[in-house]
């Protein structure tokens, strides 16, 4: 779906771009690029999704779909990507039908997948060997942020590639920031997920406690949301937790994938993450309850 809150687009020269992966996040992100006036070629494993996207954005500048990542990348200045995991990313970037095989020298691959820092460094090196550029650029803001063009993007890579990608990526971003060398964007996204996991578990426990104590928890959240306990999660998920509604985008399965990346990296760098490891197991409990596609605030289901 396009943005539910139409935004104005900065006036920048139109570029020829590709977008690989039209899932919950990629579909609207590619849409913002089209609405900003860029010539967009899309690729998705399920071709019907690509065809539907082209139909939805037919009124924008020339849009088309491709049958392979390589075909989508032909002639593109920038190739954006948002797929599921490390293996999906390698599949669309590498090989005879991968995007790298179709990209012109100097073109930039911008990866919005939440993946490992290891695969980001691997693809950065592979791109450089082919005369290409690579930026790892995972996003935060969820489905609503993608639809509204208000994503926060954490980037790793070379300054020149970042500088060239940033003006185009601002079509779907509220912030697009370089945080260091290749892999730094993925590491920053891990920090983000560590914070969210702890916040959501604390909020779940607080809501469950207050309900058991007989409090009007919506009123309580209104009050404490004006003080030191305030957070985005409280503002946006507290009352839906109270109501038992868990269909707000980012799914438990995806969070477990992300926390798996976090815990793998923690083992590599020697970090101790006892709370994160515990919350990861709590999400495993939610999966056993059939909550694979519930949103991440469903942690409260363990407590009620």
Catalytic residues: 189
CA distance 42 to 51: 9
Task: Let me know how long the chain is.
Answer: 304
Do the Cβ atoms of 112 and 26 come closer than 8 Å? Answer: yes
Do the Cβ atoms of 156 and 187 come closer than 8 Å? Answer: yes
Do the Cβ atoms of 237 and 203 come closer than 8 Å? Answer: yes
Residue with tokens 């494993």: 45
Query: How, if at all, do strands 39-43 and 63-65 pair?
Result: parallel
Beta strands in the chain (DSSP E): 16-20, 39-43, 63-65, 78-81, 108-111, 133-136, 139-140, 151-155, 173-178
DSSP 103: P
Q: In the numeric block, which tokens belong to residue 131?
A: 């005369």
CB count in 10 Å sphere of residue 110: 28
Phi/psi class of residue 121: alpha, beta or left (left: φ > 0; alpha: ψ in -120 to 50)? alpha
**Angle formed at CA 197 by CA 191 and CA 199, multiple of 5 degrees:** 105
CA distance 76 to 38: 11
């Amino acid at each position: 779906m396009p943005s539910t809150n139409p935004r104005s687009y900065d006036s920048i020269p139109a570029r020829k771009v590709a977008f690989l992966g039209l899932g919950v996040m990629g579909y609207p992100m590619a849409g913002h690029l089209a609405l900003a006036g860029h010539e967009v070629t899309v690729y998705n494993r399920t071709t019907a999704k690509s065809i539907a996207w082209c139909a939805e954005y037919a009124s924008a500048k020339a849009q088309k779909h491709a049958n392979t990542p390589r075909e989508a990348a032909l002639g593109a200045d920038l190739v954006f990507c948002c797929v599921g995991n490390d293996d999906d990313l390698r599949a669309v970037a590498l090989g005879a039908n991968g995007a790298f095989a179709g990209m012109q020298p100097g073109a930039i691959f911008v990866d919005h997948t939440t993946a490992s820092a290891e695969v980001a460094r691997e693809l950065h090196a592979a791109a450089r060997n082919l005369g290409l550029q690579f930026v790892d650029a995972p996003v935060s803001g969820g489905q609503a942020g993608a639809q509204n063009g208000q994503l926060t993007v954490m980037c790793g890579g070379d300054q020149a590639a970042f500088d060239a990608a940033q003006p185009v990526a601002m079509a779907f971003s509220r912030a697009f920031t370089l945080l260091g060398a290749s892999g730094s964007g993925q590491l920053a996204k891990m920090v983000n997920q560590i914070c969210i996991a702890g916040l959501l578990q604390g909020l779940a426990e607080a809501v469950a406690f207050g309900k058991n104590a007989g409090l009007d928890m919506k009123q309580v959240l209104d009050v404490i949301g004006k003080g030191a306990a305030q957070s985005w999660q409280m503002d946006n998920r507290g009352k839906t937790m109270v109501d038992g509604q868990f269909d707000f985008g980012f799914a438990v399965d995806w969070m477990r994938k992300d926390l798996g990346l976090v815990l793998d990296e923690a083992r590599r760098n020697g970090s101790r993450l006892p709370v994160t490891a515990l919350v990861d197991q709590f999400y495993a409990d939610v999966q056993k309850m059939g909550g694979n596609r519930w949103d991440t605030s469903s942690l409260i289901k363990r407590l009620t």
